[in-house]
Amino acid sequence: MAVGVARLGYSAGWISRLGADEMGAYVLGVMRGANVDVTNVQLVEGEQTGIFLRENRTSGSSSVFYYRSNSAFTTFSPDDLNEDYIASAQILHLTGITPGLSHTCRAAVERAIEIASTHGVRIVFDVNYRAKIWPREEARMCLEDLMRRADHVLAGREDLVKLVGIVDQDEQLSYLNSLGLTTFVLKTGADGTILADTEGTRRVPGVSIGNAVDRFGVGDAFAAGYIVGQLRAQTNLDAVALGNKVAGWSIQLPGNIESLPSWTELDGMNAGTWTIGR
């Protein structure tokens, strides 16, 4: 997500904790090379960098295997946060993965929200429920609280099916409304996106594409576009449309970071003359 924002010309900083190992050096180098500010990323001696592996199948399905237990970031805590750094931002982006990694990570997320709220920094929260990280009952209680404290909530249909057991789309909208959220987005895949804010509830069409090459990371691509729309002072509706375009572009290329578009590529998409030719 941070790389997607940077690729569209806006500054993005990543707050994290990595092991002072080969993998940590690699990750830090990739992020720095993508113009993401990493001044608030710690390299910790004697701790390992958390990773996950993805298994792709010829059927198009994939599985993810996490190796995050006892990693460097699981010991991240509120003491590791730089209040001035968060206060200097326009938007703080958080996901539901972080609080599921450890109790100290959850406390850090809650503290980050407090700092952002105190300094007038808008909070965008992506639900991103991962059942392999923590049990549904514990996650639901925590994530519902975090959603209520955010200014913008991004939720995927599949996340809500797993988190609250609601399959029907209208019932999912009712559930999100019941939380009293100010602005939320329900991502419905190929059907597009549903936006609910003070202007009402509206459906924003997705981007029509041919064959999807790689759906992995499409949620982060959407978040990048949506956040850039907010930074450009666009309406929520236009921000969702931009999120759909970034996601639509990314899904046609393999990889998470590699598939994120530039403005030149998005302009080509808008003109109907876009092609993938890298």
Can you tell me the distance from the alpha carbon of 89 to that of 222, in angstroms, rounded to the nearest whole number? 20
Can you tell me the distance from the alpha carbon of 24 to that of 157, in angstroms, rounded to the nearest whole number? 33
| Interval 22-31: pLDDT, tens | 999 999 999 9
| Interval 108-142: pLDDT, tens | 999 999 999 999 999 999 999 999 889 999 999 99
| Interval 236-246: pLDDT, tens | 999 999 999 99
Asked whether the predicted pLDDT for residue 84 surpasses 80, the reply is: yes
Confidence bin at 271 (pLDDT 50/70/90): low
CB atoms within 10 A of CB 261: 26
Confidence bin at 168 (pLDDT 50/70/90): very high
Asked whether the predicted pLDDT for residue 219 surpasses 90, the reply is: no
3.40.50.10540, 3.10.110.10, 3.40.50.970, 3.40.1190.30: CATH of 1-75: 3.40.1190.30
CA dist 236 → 17, 144, 153, 247 (Å): 32, 22, 12, 16
The pLDDT of residue 20 is 95
Task: Cite the active site residues.
Answer: 220
Asked whether the predicted pLDDT for residue 38 surpasses 80, the reply is: yes
The pLDDT of residue 59 is 64
Q: Could you state, in order of their start, the residue ranges of all structural domains in the chain?
A: 1-75, 82-271
- Superfamily of structural domain 82-271: Ribokinase (3.40.1190.20)
The larger pLDDT score, comparing residue 265 to residue 139, is at 139
165-183 per-residue burial string, b: 16 or more CB within 10 A, e: under 16: ebeeeeebbebbeeeebeb
Confidence bin at 270 (pLDDT 50/70/90): low
| Interval 178-200: pLDDT, tens | 999 999 999 988 788 999 999 99
The pLDDT of residue 1 is 95
Nearest CA-CA partner of 152 in 41, 243, 35, 16: 243
Averaged pLDDT score across all residues of the chain: 90
Q: Are 1-75 and 82-271 in the same CATH fold? A: yes
Percent of the chain whose pLDDT exceeds 70: 91
